[in-house]
Every structure is written in C-alpha cells, then in structure tokens.
Amino acid sequence: MSDEGSNPTISALFSEDRKFPPPPEFAAQANCDESIYEEAKDRDAFWTKQAERVAWRKRWDQVLDWSDAPFAKWFTGATLNITESCLDQHVAERGDKVAYHWEGDGGETRTLTYQELHEEVCKAANALAALGVTKGDRVAIYMGMVPELPVAMLACARLGAVHGVVFGGFSSDSLRDRINDAEAKMLITCDGSYRAGSVVPLKEMADVSLAETPSIEKVLVVRRTGSDVNMVEGRDVWWHDVVSGQSSEHEAVEMDAEDMLFILYTSGTTAKPKGIVHTTGGYAVGTATTHYYVFDLKPDDVYWCTADIGWVTGHSYIVYGPLINGATSVMFEGVPQHPDKDRFWDIVEKYKVSILYTAPTAIRTFVKWGDEYPGKHDLSSLRLLGTVGEPINPEAWMWYHRVIGGERCPIVDTWWQTETGMILIAPLPGVTATKPSSATLPLPGVAADIFDDAGNSVPFGGGGYLTLTEPWPAMLRTLYKEPDRFKEVYWSRFSKPDENKWVYFAGDGAKRDEEGYLWLLGRVDDVMNISGHRISTLEVESALVDHPAVAEAAVVGRADDRTGQAIAAFCTLKGTAVGDENLIKEIRDHVADKIGKIARPASIVFTPELPKTRSGKIMRRLLKDISEKRQLGDVTTLANEGVVSELSDLASQAKAAEDD
C-alpha cells in the first residue's frame, strides 16, 4: 500500500454512460454465447472441457489441487510438452498454415509456416542440448523481435528448460541481475536489433552484464544486424553455426503439468524485481482458452498483437496462446513511427489483419498524430480490436472504435497481469455489451470481486480493491526462490487462512457499476504504469541515489496524456553539487543505464528537502499532487511545512525534460 493510506482514485466515479451492444452480425458468428457464463459456474468442469485445446501425453488425476493454498496445482499428474500443443498437433493437418508473418523494422519480411516453425524449434532444441542445456536449466533470452526469439523460447520449452526473457530495452545491469537471480546457464541474444532504422547493440550491452554473471556457460548469438561483436572463445557461439546443421527432428521432453515453463521478472514495491513463476499445463489451457474466446479466433483470422515478446503480453498472446490455437499471427520488429506514422495501418492493410491487439498508450499517440495516417489505408479487414496494459480513457476508446474499427468492430479491453498469465477481465465479443473505458466482466471461469479496506465485498455501485477470489489455471505459482514474499505480496491482504479462504490482491483499484461492470482505476501501490509497463518507484529511487550527486530521491507517477503516467523525480543533492540542466541530463541517463530507457524520469526537480511525515516517510501523494498541480491533500502530518510552497514553485518552474 502507499504510505498515505487509501488512494483517492478509488472514490472517483465515472459518468460514462455510453453502451455498445454487440453488433448482431458479429454475435451471429461468435465463438460462444452467453450460456458460457452459466456453464462456467462449474469451474472444474469448465476448465476440464477447455483443456481439450492442449495436447496431453497423460491426462490428469485432479483438475485443481488447492490443498496447499495459495500454492496451486492444476491438472495434477498430467504430463505434456507445451510445444507439442503449439507445433506438433498442427503439423499433420495444417503444416502449411502460416504461424508468423514477420515484418522487420526496415520492411523486410519472413514467413514461417507451422511446419517450418516446428523444424526451426527442433533444430534449436538439438543445438541447445548439444551445448549442454537440460531439463530444469534456466536460459536467459535478451533479443529483439526476430523470429528466432519465439524459436528460442519454444526450444527451451521443448527441452524442459526454463526461459527467462529479458526485454531488449532493459539495461546491462537489469539483465545481469535477472541472470544472476535465475542462475541462468545460457544466454541467447542477438548481435543487435533494429529500432527505427538504428541499431540497438544488444550483444555489447550483454557483454557488460556477462562480466558479472558466473552461472553463464554459453552465449548463443543470433546475427541480425551484422554489427561487429566480441565473441569470447569457448563461451560465445553463433546461432547460424550451431543451429543450422542440426536435425529438424527432436523428441520433446515429457513435462509434468506443474513443471516450470518460464520466469518473467516484474516490478514490485521494493527495488528488487519479482521473478514470476509460470508452469506448463494450466498456463497452456488458460492462454489458449482466453485467446480463443476473447479474440473470437477463426481459422482464417490474421491476428496481430503489437506487444514486445519481452513482456507477458507477448509470451501469452504472441507465442503460447496463438500457437496452441493454430493461429496466423503478424510479428513486428519495429516501431509505429518508422518510416512514417502510418506504419501500423500499412501493416494492417498489407497482411489484411483481422484482429488487432495493442496498448492504450499507442492509441493515444495515434490520436495525437491525427486521422490522416489511418485514413491513407484500407482497414476494412479488421473485425475485432483489443487493448491491454492500462486503463483506456473514453476519448481514446471512442477514437479506436470510430477511426480504426469503422464503428463495426467490437473492442475488447483486457485486464490482466504478468502474475495472472492470462486475461481475466474482458468482454466476450458478440456476447458482452461494451462501455468505453470499462474492462467489463470477469471471464467465464474467473471470480473477481471488489473489497473495501476491511476486506468486505463492496456492493455494486462502489469502489475498492480488485481481488480474485478463486484460483485460475494460468495463475503464477510462486515468486522464484521467494515463496514467503509470494504469500505476503498477493495473499496476505485479504485472505483468511484460518477459514481456508484465499483471496488474491491484484494491487489495482477498481469501481464496479450498478450492472457489475468493472472500471479499473490504476495501481494502489507504489508501482507506476508508464506506457503500459510496470515500474517501481523504489527501483527508480535506488537508481537515482546511486548517482554520486544525489543524496535522497522520491519518485511519483504523474498523469500524462500520452504515456498514462510519467516519472516525476524529486532529488536532494549532496554537498556542493549544482543542480543544473547538465546534471538533470546526467541523472536521467544514469537511471536509463541502471534500469533501461523506459525508466528514465520525464522530469527532475532538485529540492533542498523532501516532504516527510513526522515518522520520516516521504509523502509521495503530496509530490504527486504537486507534480499534477492539483489542490494539495491533507498536509497535517507533514513535518517540514515550509518545503511545500518551495517545492510547488520549483516544480512549476522545472522544465519537463525531453522525453524519448
């Protein structure tokens, strides 16, 4: 929880009353009707039926074992290899179907059919095995959005090795910490990746990490940019040297449904990221089922999720869910503004994309750029639109609906988290009427509730904390090597272990309207949401005080109409340091070096003092009010009163530093 108690956003009420019933033509062809909600009331029977999407080697004894709550076991006793669901089960019947249309940053293309993807994965699995990777080993992956990225993940899964993908925008330090926490044996990376025509030197950045990662034995490098890179004899090997010559057959390793599939690190409320652990069977069932219903997937759809695979959205809805369902996806390496601001719409037209899944921050940027860019292209192939990552404001929703969806495409606003593994709250297109800015209702088989501070369910019409009151198949199983922290962070706030009542606390505030629709209101803890990415205030604060000139730092996420929130930093300086423009730039770059560019503060204000409570806690809420130029909240607990007016002056003078 934040240090000043409950969040004012929770009491915010929306006056949005527009409602969009499902278009009748869409409803007529939808993958389900409203009876699915009723059917899913028998939770275990529902998930048993959905489990048919997955290719099992051995069936389960029990759908859910919750006896050791909050440590869940789904499909106990079952065995499978998830890549057989993603690949082998499709090869015989639709081997020629395209799995990925890959579009490079500069417009080059590659097409991979299910047959070809299967072959590539088998070769890569054979190469990894030859390099010593075996079941249970951790493999770190730090790559751009090239086809070898899903191939590498699936090759790990084929061998039963645990992949830990680190987003290519993270710094050397972030990569090092994640490798060390996971004790990864191998790193798979690229020489570089392309972003808007320039090269991101991934291998060079990885080299800095590798100086301090004793567990790494081998580094496998994909050539993408052709840049000169340093290859360490005996440790570093080229992908094309070791993968190409391998056999395209590989017998997948049999895994228990509860064997670990991947670790993905995400920011928490402390400076140390949490290693979210996902396992195999339940994750496969959860991602495939939600991908099928939420996106109303049909065999001929061309589906495009614009996320980077470095985040959970890419894991669940570019790799596992779509592949298990045998979907055709577009995978894009580049950025929306390169070579021009119509790139997305050009891709939609080129591949005749029918389902588009993107982020509110991107939509808000498109709104700013203007209607002329989508206007240049034929978007009539689109039939369904999705959003994820943060609340979407009604204006952006309406623009998406009108300009991109031609007023005919349902919009699915999907709420979920790295922890949840799968979408949990979203409309079912063709079934659920939508309201702009509401993620609508929990999906069939999912139980969500809104609690007040005391842990009571809030009646319809009220606001509070979003909770999940029953387990779901793709839920995180634990935090890597930190089971106590897992219990503490997610299950201690509202659970009643004595009564064997387990409640998952999502960390989000939400309002539930009179019809039971859920309206997400953002985080209630010290986690910011920048362009749909979670960044911990504490993580940025530690990076700030790591700079030699900074004595103390406080960070808040202030509202920003493009990125949702922007990082506003307040620093006190040491001794003789001079807080000028140069120092601002230096400190911002320092944070980018420590964590990654996404964590670079948008503004830095130097202040002689930070506002603190009498017990010495920094009053972040007050800083947030100051940076958003709002009426100041309660300041009676403030120890150093003079600081407020001074800070307000400084903050309004401060020129918002240039954002990337």
Nearer to ligand PRX, 192 or 282 (CB): 282
Q: Are residues 474 and 466 in contact, defined by beta-carbon separation less than 8 angstroms?
A: no
Q: To the nearest whole angstrom, how small is the minimum distance from the Cβ of residue 629 to ligand PRX?
A: 24
Q: Is 308 in the site for ligand PRX (CB under 6 A)?
A: no
Number of residues that bind ligand PRX (CB under 6 A): 22
Q: To the nearest whole angstrom, how small is the minimum distance from the Cβ of residue 531 to ligand PRX?
A: 10
Q: Which residue from 320, 262, 164, 268 is spatially nearest to 506, judged by alpha carbons?
A: 268
Q: Is 429 in the site for ligand PRX (CB under 6 A)?
A: no
Number of DSSP helices (H) and strands (E) in the chain, helices first:
22, 30
Q: Which stretch binds ligand PRX (CB under 6 A): 29-37, 182-190, 215-223, 416-424?
A: 416-424
Q: Which residue from 657, 659, 625 is spatially nearest to 644, judged by alpha carbons?
A: 625
Nearer to ligand PRX, 126 or 536 (CB): 536
- Which of 415, 451, 505, 517 contacts ligand PRX by CB under 6 A? 415
Q: Residue 115 pairs with which residues in a beta bridge?
A: none
Q: Is 486 in the site for ligand PRX (CB under 6 A)?
A: no
Nearby residues of 317 by Cβ (< 8 Å), 6 or more positions away:
287, 291, 305, 307, 357
Integer Cα distance of 589 and 593 in angstroms: 6
Q: Is 424 in the site for ligand PRX (CB under 6 A)?
A: no
Q: To the nearest whole angstrom, how small is the minimum distance from the Cβ of residue 466 to ligand PRX?
A: 8
Long-range contacts of 657-660 (CB under 8 A, 24+ apart): 657/584, 657/585, 657/588, 657/601, 657/602, 657/603, 657/604, 659/563, 659/566, 659/600, 659/602, 660/597, 660/600
Nearer to ligand PRX, 507 or 611 (CB): 507
Q: Are residues 324 and 284 in contact, defined by beta-carbon separation less than 8 angstroms?
A: yes
Q: Is 526 in the site for ligand PRX (CB under 6 A)?
A: no
Q: Is 626 in the site for ligand PRX (CB under 6 A)?
A: no
Cα-based distances in Å from 592 to 45, 194, 599, 602? 48, 19, 6, 11
Label each residue of 292-341 as H, E or C. Answer: HHHCCCCCCCEEEECCCCCCHHHHHHHHHHHHHCCCEEEEECCCCCCCCC
Q: To the nearest whole angstrom, how small is the minimum distance from the Cβ of residue 316 to ligand PRX?
A: 8
Q: Are residues 326 and 288 in contact, defined by beta-carbon separation less than 8 angstroms?
A: no
Nearby residues of 554 by Cβ (< 8 Å), 6 or more positions away:
537, 541, 569, 570, 571, 610, 618, 620, 623
Nearer to ligand PRX, 282 or 389 (CB): 389
Q: Is 531 in the site for ligand PRX (CB under 6 A)?
A: no
Integer Cα distance of 178 and 142 in angstroms: 11
Site for ligand PRX in 372-411 (CB under 6 A): 388-391
Q: To the nearest whole angstrom, how small is the minimum distance from the Cβ of residue 538 to ligand PRX?
A: 16
358 phi and psi, to 5 degrees?
-140, -170
Q: Is 520 in the site for ligand PRX (CB under 6 A)?
A: yes
Nearby residues of 465 by Cβ (< 8 Å), 6 or more positions away:
10, 450, 451, 452, 453, 493, 494, 505, 506, 508, 509, 510, 524
- Which of 401, 523, 588, 621 contacts ligand PRX by CB under 6 A? 523
501 phi and psi, to 5 degrees?
-110, 120
Nearer to ligand PRX, 451 or 570 (CB): 451
- Which of 507, 564, 596, 611 contacts ligand PRX by CB under 6 A? 507
Q: Is 262 in the site for ligand PRX (CB under 6 A)?
A: no
Q: Is 268 in the site for ligand PRX (CB under 6 A)?
A: no
Q: Which stretch binds ligand PRX (CB under 6 A): 248-256, 400-408, 526-534, 541-549?
A: 526-534
Q: Which stretch binds ligand PRX (CB under 6 A): 102-110, 341-349, 413-421, 546-554?
A: 413-421
Nearer to ligand PRX, 295 or 415 (CB): 415
Q: Is 313 in the site for ligand PRX (CB under 6 A)?
A: yes
296-317 b/e (C-beta count within 10 Å ≥ 16 → b): bbbeebbbbbbbbbbbbbbbbb
Q: To the nearest whole angstrom, how small is the minimum distance from the Cβ of residue 506 to ligand PRX?
A: 6
Nearer to ligand PRX, 148 or 419 (CB): 419
Q: Is 83 in the site for ligand PRX (CB under 6 A)?
A: no
Q: Is 266 in the site for ligand PRX (CB under 6 A)?
A: yes
Q: Is 414 in the site for ligand PRX (CB under 6 A)?
A: yes
198-229 b/e (C-beta count within 10 Å ≥ 16 → b): ebbbbbbbbbebbeebeebebbbbbbbbeeeb
Q: Is 7 in the site for ligand PRX (CB under 6 A)?
A: no
Nearer to ligand PRX, 517 or 606 (CB): 517
Q: Which stretch binds ligand PRX (CB under 6 A): 51-59, 133-141, 501-509, 539-547?
A: 501-509
Q: To the nearest whole angstrom, how small is the minimum distance from the Cβ of residue 590 to ligand PRX?
A: 24
Q: Is 437 in the site for ligand PRX (CB under 6 A)?
A: no
Sort strands 504-512 and 518-523 into parallel, antiparallel or unpaired.
antiparallel
- Which of 508, 541, 560, 593 contacts ligand PRX by CB under 6 A? 508
Interface residues toward ligand PRX, by CB under 6 A: 266, 312-313, 388-391, 413-418, 439, 506-508, 520, 523, 529, 533-534
